[in-house]
Chains A and B, each alone.
Chain A
Amino acid sequence: MSSPNGTPTKITQGSQTKGGIGESTLRPDGTLKVTGEFAYSSDMWHEDMLWGQILRSTVAHAEIVSIDTSEALATPGVYAVLTYDDLPTDVKNYGLEIQDTPVLAHGKVRHHGEPVAVVAADHPETARRAAAKIKVDYRELPVITDEASATAPDAILVHENRDDHHAGHVPHPNIVHRQPIVRGDVAQARKRADVIVEGEYTFGMQDQAFLGPESGLAVPEEDGGVHLYIATQWLHSDLRQIAPVLGLPEDKVRMTLSGVGGAFGGREDLSMQIHACLLALRTGKPVKIVYNRFESFFGHVHRHPAKLYYEHGATRDGKLTHMKCRIVLDGGAYASASPAVVGNASSLSVGPYVIDDVDIEAIALYTNNPPCGAMRGFGAVQACFAYEAQMDKLARELGMDPVDFRQLNAMEQGTIMPTGQPVDSPAPVAELLRRVKAMPMPPERQWESSEGADLRELPGGLSNTTHGEGVVRGVGYAVGIKNVGFSEGFDDYSTAKVRMEVVGGEPVVTVHTAMAEVGQGGVTVHAQIARTELGVTQVTIHPANTQVGSAGSTSASRQTYVTGGAVKNACELVREKVLEIGRRKFGTYHPAWDTAELLLEGGKVVTDGGEVLADLVDVLGEDAVEVEEEWRHRPTEPFDLRTGQGNGHVQYSFAAHRAVVEVDTELGLVKVIELACAQDVGKALNPLSVLGQIQGGTTQGLGVAVMEEIIVDPKTAKVKNPSFTDYLIPTILDTPTIPVDVLELADDHAPYGLRGVGEAPTLSSTPAVLAAIRNATGLELNRTPVRPEHLTGTSLSEA
């Protein structure tokens, strides 16, 4: 079939400056994005295409007694209706680590909104109406919604007959994974404590709320294969899960990355990929599926809600003695990324502090709640909320300043993690706190103006709920630690193909990777790396697809490190080949070809002394030099299943926040006035993009502090607020100024010394806001998000 509209093409970007790393070069896709011409996955269009629609379960836990599709099939305009029985092979499940997720429900549904059937029709409304005509007879089962119901003696098993690699070591089949970490002697250390504080914390279910809905276009191909244009975070991971279900070899499932409207972890799992391919192969026509927002809330995993139980001790002079914690993450009905979330939560549960004696346990449950998986900072985000609350409690007990107390216990380079892993690159925790504290404070009563109170600057805004009466200011601090890259022994490699040739009398470099550009600016950075390493100005970014090796996932703050590292490595190999050609052609004309350190700069081969030896145009002539190569960071090890010991992480990243809030204590309304951040980024390859990551991550942390939560009815396990009307994310009015202080302490193990940036700011933002609200109100506030009723004492529960 012909290519659909919206097929991505190469983008060539020149640069007026050197345009290398360290410069804030502009996005190569910026012009397309501001003119509306950038093709997102939901913009794909093909002559004669059909629209797919998924029918989802209306109940959370039930046996499927029968499914009747006859009326749907008879609807004019409907081309296909598929259920479990139509799946073409024996592979009927998929999953990131554990293949426990049915492509279409078989005999049972385990959560509200689980896919049961798919329809293809010639108009999206026809498909929707036909799906509504499918009759599913459910026999409801009791719902498992929390730890107590999951591990009760007579608990129904969410998944019977588990045979995954965690099944053997978990204490109950409704526990996906358990990771204890034991180090030192807590009982002994506890005796040294002058103060002990305990806390029980609740973290609500957050949604990634990326704006571009799950969508894609599957085009059947003449060889019996299919071409999928898709928004995802990892093309090759999708491919590995899709192909077996379709019964096709991987080379017959071609995948091209369409424009991705944000991700934040929510596109690590498959959504509509297999459904669209199944319908395309069944009907022989291109099939487009686009979720609406309602469906999107059911169509991807969320951030794990958690219960966290902590005990810390400290001596009178403010040194931490020990920590015990238990973190219970609700993984929902399917495993998704739960095992990795458990690994992060447990191994980072101490936070960026020195505590030698710890006793840690983290588990993820199987329940009938919505499946939870990856979201920015996973595992570490929930832990940071709790341990930072504990730090404030300890400081208060000791009568110490909360920042001083944190600095006194801050980890540094050389600190041993609870996993036994030494931190072998800069860990400027105390310095980040110092910097964020040193930033100028926003003015007091900033809402006052010559014409009275400016309502827009007050809690409640133009609702005109206060002119300053009852408004109290508070300030809070927090700091966090996040791992960068895939951990626990995962082979976390990336592939880059780099080509250099002369086009139009100028050397041009093409960079081809399968990296998912989801908005983070990886494409910008790849062009910068190519310019720095190969001394050109024109760089072409090839569309990401599966015609090149895997680039790993756009997650875990890893892409600039790992795919950036792969691009750098491939560029270095290209440079060697180019210099080899140069030596062959011109070596006899100048001895420096053999004796000097040679660089590519400004389109020329130069010595490290700056002497020009040749133009790249002359060296290359008609030749093109191309290298495709995998690149790996330092290997990691799994955590021991009993002790949690192991060099499990690649790199750590750190951010600190100071929040200034104003609270209308009468109505429980919060306005965050300022949310300052200091973060160590190792090396800012693109300072403008780094700021964008920090400010964006900070704002997602703000969201889960004061507004964002998917509410699941504990009686029915049904989602109550699947819309942007009822699930609120911060608007520009809710978001304060976010001054940022960027520190660049190189990590010698990483390319250019860089440190993954994307996630750390999402950690400390939430506890800083909570600390500020506690500071303003004097309330305990052991859950997030905070809602008005938690501040006014009018909550029916969880007050």
Chain B
Amino acid sequence: MRVNFTVNGRPQEADDVWEGESLLYVLRERLGLPGSKNACEQGECGSCTVRLDGVPVCSCLVAAGQVEGREVVTVEGLADYAKQRSCASDACGTSLQNAQQWQAKGDSQTGEGTELSPVQQAFIDAGAVQCGFCTPGLLVAADEMLERNPTPTDADIREALSGNLCRCTGYEKIMDAVRLAAARQGEAV
């Protein structure tokens, strides 16, 4: 079957999709967006977390056909999504057009010069990234929580991120990163 949907602001068309394929598979193997991760493929680890019409979901549990006509944001589009949001809150407009022209900036090999969202930058700065396999899902989940709750308590952070497993860090630096992102976001307002 053919599936039409929007990914990170760009219309996408996936052909020859087998009905049993997940959104995660289509993103990773058909659209060249492997940022969403495949740690469990059973909805337990959160590494494949994306926004589906704004709602964080495990993309491994979403059948590809279910996303027909809908909007998906993945970690690859997170920086732009966050920028768009901060522009929208400052009423700087034309975000839809910007979004539709989205493409990865900077040197894709080294990441030099890449624009990052506050939560992405905070994960690097706080040492919240080790192997990094949980990172994309955590970033999407943390960004969504900060959108809803700009001044989270520690208990709020733990609750919001409880669906995302990390095996390397012991979560302490992830807590630090989200606190840091919230604090920076607060300063910026």
What is the interface of chain A, defined by CB distance below 8 A to chain B? 5-6, 9-12, 24, 26-27, 29-40, 42-43, 45, 123, 125, 208-213, 259-264, 290, 292-294, 454, 456-457, 462, 518-521, 688-689, 691-692, 695-700, 723-725, 729-733, 735, 737-738
On whether the beta carbons of A519 and B111 are closer than 8 Å, the reply is no
The closest CB in chain B to the CB of A703 belongs to B167
Give every chain A residue within 8 A of B165 (Cβ-Cβ).
211, 724, 729, 731
Which of B42, B155, B167 contacts A211 (CB under 8 A)? B167
Residue B129 interfacial (CB < 8 Å)? yes
| Docked pose: A457 CA to B136 CA in angstroms | 27
On whether the beta carbons of A31 and B111 are closer than 8 Å, the reply is yes
Give every chain B residue within 8 A of A261 (Cβ-Cβ).
37, 39, 131-133
Residue B61 interfacial (CB < 8 Å)? no
On whether the beta carbons of B36 and A698 are closer than 8 Å, the reply is no
Selected A-B contacts with CB under 8 Å, 15 pairs: A10-B110, A11-B109, A11-B110, A12-B110, A26-B124, A37-B76, A39-B34, A42-B37, A210-B167, A211-B165, A262-B131, A290-B38, A292-B42, A521-B130, A732-B162
| Stretch from B63-71, B86-94, B95-103, B112-120 at the A interface | B112-120
On whether the beta carbons of B35 and A35 are closer than 8 Å, the reply is yes
Which of B139, B167, B175 contacts A34 (CB under 8 A)? B139
The closest CB in chain A to the CB of B164 belongs to A732
> Taking A26-B124, A35-B114, A125-B20 as contacts, is the C-beta distance between A212 and B39 under 8 angstroms?
yes
| Docked pose: A668 CA to B34 CA in angstroms | 41
Give every chain B residue within 8 A of A264 (Cβ-Cβ).
167
The closest CB in chain B to the CB of A690 belongs to B127
Which B residues between 6 and 57 are near A, CB-CB below 8 angstroms?
18, 20-21, 28-29, 32-42, 44-45, 47
Give every chain A residue within 8 A of B129 (Cβ-Cβ).
27, 30, 33-34
| Docked pose: A735 CA to B154 CA in angstroms | 12
Residue B182 interfacial (CB < 8 Å)? no
On whether the beta carbons of A723 and B44 are closer than 8 Å, the reply is yes
> Taking A6-B34, A691-B173, A699-B171 as contacts, is the C-beta distance between A37 and B133 under 8 angstroms?
no
Which of B78, B127, B158 contacts A689 (CB under 8 A)? B127
Which of A32, A34, A456, A518 contacts B110 (CB under 8 A)? A32
Residue B172 interfacial (CB < 8 Å)? yes
| Docked pose: A411 CA to B35 CA in angstroms | 48
Give every chain A residue within 8 A of B162 (Cβ-Cβ).
731-733
Residue B159 interfacial (CB < 8 Å)? yes
Q: Ordered nearest first, which 7 A-B pairs have the shortest CB separation?
A: A36-B35, A519-B131, A31-B111, A261-B133, A33-B132, A695-B170, A699-B170
| Docked pose: A225 CA to B128 CA in angstroms | 39
Give every chain A residue within 8 A of B171 (Cβ-Cβ).
695, 699, 730, 732, 735
On whether the beta carbons of B133 and A724 are closer than 8 Å, the reply is no
On whether the beta carbons of B124 and A31 are closer than 8 Å, the reply is yes
Residue B59 interfacial (CB < 8 Å)? no
On whether the beta carbons of B45 and A692 are closer than 8 Å, the reply is no
> Taking A123-B18, A209-B167, A738-B172 as contacts, is the C-beta distance between A724 and B29 under 8 angstroms?
no
Residue B125 interfacial (CB < 8 Å)? yes
On whether the beta carbons of B133 and A211 are closer than 8 Å, the reply is yes
| Docked pose: A536 CA to B109 CA in angstroms | 22
Tell me, rounded to whole Å, the shortest Cβ–Cβ distance linking B9 to chain A: 15
Give every chain A residue within 8 A of B47 (Cβ-Cβ).
211
On whether the beta carbons of B74 and A27 are closer than 8 Å, the reply is no
| Docked pose: A732 CA to B165 CA in angstroms | 7
Give every chain A residue within 8 A of B125 (Cβ-Cβ).
26
Tell me, rounded to whole Å, the shortest Cβ–Cβ distance linking A26 to chain B: 6
Residue B174 interfacial (CB < 8 Å)? yes
Give every chain B residue within 8 A of A521 (Cβ-Cβ).
130
Give every chain B residue within 8 A of A30 (Cβ-Cβ).
111, 123-124, 129
On whether the beta carbons of A43 and B167 are closer than 8 Å, the reply is no
Give every chain B residue within 8 A of A293 (Cβ-Cβ).
39-42, 44-45
| Docked pose: A262 CA to B39 CA in angstroms | 11
Give every chain B residue within 8 A of A735 (Cβ-Cβ).
170-172
Which of B44, B116, B169, B175 contacts A35 (CB under 8 A)? B116
Give every chain B residue within 8 A of A40 (Cβ-Cβ).
34, 37, 133
The closest CB in chain B to the CB of A737 belongs to B172
> Taking A11-B110, A293-B39 as contacts, is the C-beta distance between A695 and B169 under 8 angstroms?
yes
Interface of A is mostly: loop
Give every chain A residue within 8 A of B110 (Cβ-Cβ).
9-12, 31-32
Give every chain A residue within 8 A of B172 (Cβ-Cβ).
691, 695, 735, 737-738
Which of B127, B135, B161 contacts A33 (CB under 8 A)? B135
Which of A11, A45, A262 contacts B29 (CB under 8 A)? A45
> Taking A293-B42, A688-B127, A691-B172 as contacts, is the C-beta distance between A37 and B108 under 8 angstroms?
yes
On whether the beta carbons of B38 and A42 are closer than 8 Å, the reply is yes
| Docked pose: A32 CA to B41 CA in angstroms | 23
**0/1 interface trace, chain B 147-163, chain A, CB 8 Å (1 if under):** 00000000101110111
On whether the beta carbons of B120 and A34 are closer than 8 Å, the reply is yes
Residue B79 interfacial (CB < 8 Å)? yes
Give every chain A residue within 8 A of B139 (Cβ-Cβ).
34
On whether the beta carbons of B130 and A519 are closer than 8 Å, the reply is yes
| Docked pose: A732 CA to B34 CA in angstroms | 25
Give every chain B residue within 8 A of A42 (Cβ-Cβ).
34, 37-38
Tell me, rounded to whole Å, the shortest Cβ–Cβ distance linking A505 to chain B: 18
Tell me, rounded to whole Å, the shortest Cβ–Cβ distance linking A117 to chain B: 22
On whether the beta carbons of A724 and B158 are closer than 8 Å, the reply is no
On whether the beta carbons of B116 and A692 are closer than 8 Å, the reply is no
Give every chain A residue within 8 A of B127 (Cβ-Cβ).
24, 26, 688-689, 691-692
On whether the beta carbons of B133 and A262 are closer than 8 Å, the reply is yes
| Docked pose: A211 CA to B39 CA in angstroms | 5
Tell me, rounded to whole Å, the shortest Cβ–Cβ distance linking B159 to chain A: 6
Q: Which of the listed residues B28, B114, B130, B165 has the most CB atoms from chain A within 10 Å of its own CB?
A: B130
Residue B183 interfacial (CB < 8 Å)? no
Which of A27, A213, A696 contacts B124 (CB under 8 A)? A27
| Docked pose: A462 CA to B163 CA in angstroms | 14
The closest CB in chain A to the CB of B140 belongs to A36
Which of A34, A263, A692 contacts B173 (CB under 8 A)? A692
Give every chain A residue within 8 A of B114 (Cβ-Cβ).
31, 35
On whether the beta carbons of A36 and B76 are closer than 8 Å, the reply is yes
Give every chain B residue within 8 A of A31 (Cβ-Cβ).
110-112, 114, 116, 124
Which of B111, B130, B155 contacts A696 (CB under 8 A)? B130
| Docked pose: A259 CA to B161 CA in angstroms | 24
Residue B72 interfacial (CB < 8 Å)? no
| Docked pose: A518 CA to B167 CA in angstroms | 12
On whether the beta carbons of A37 and B173 are closer than 8 Å, the reply is no
On whether the beta carbons of A29 and B132 are closer than 8 Å, the reply is yes
> Taking A35-B76, A211-B131 as contacts, is the C-beta distance between A262 and B41 under 8 angstroms?
no
On whether the beta carbons of B159 and A456 are closer than 8 Å, the reply is yes
On whether the beta carbons of A725 and B42 are closer than 8 Å, the reply is yes
> Taking A24-B127, A35-B111, A724-B42 as contacts, is the C-beta distance between A695 and B155 under 8 angstroms?
no
The closest CB in chain B to the CB of A290 belongs to B38
| Docked pose: A630 CA to B81 CA in angstroms | 48
Give every chain B residue within 8 A of A5 (Cβ-Cβ).
32
Give every chain B residue within 8 A of A211 (Cβ-Cβ).
37, 39, 45, 47, 131, 133-134, 165-167
Give every chain A residue within 8 A of B167 (Cβ-Cβ).
208-211, 262, 264, 696, 700, 729
Kindly list 11 other residue pairs between chains A and B, CB separation below 8 angstroms, not including A724-B40, A735-B170.
Answer: A9-B109, A12-B112, A37-B35, A211-B133, A261-B39, A263-B131, A290-B38, A293-B39, A692-B127, A695-B172, A699-B171
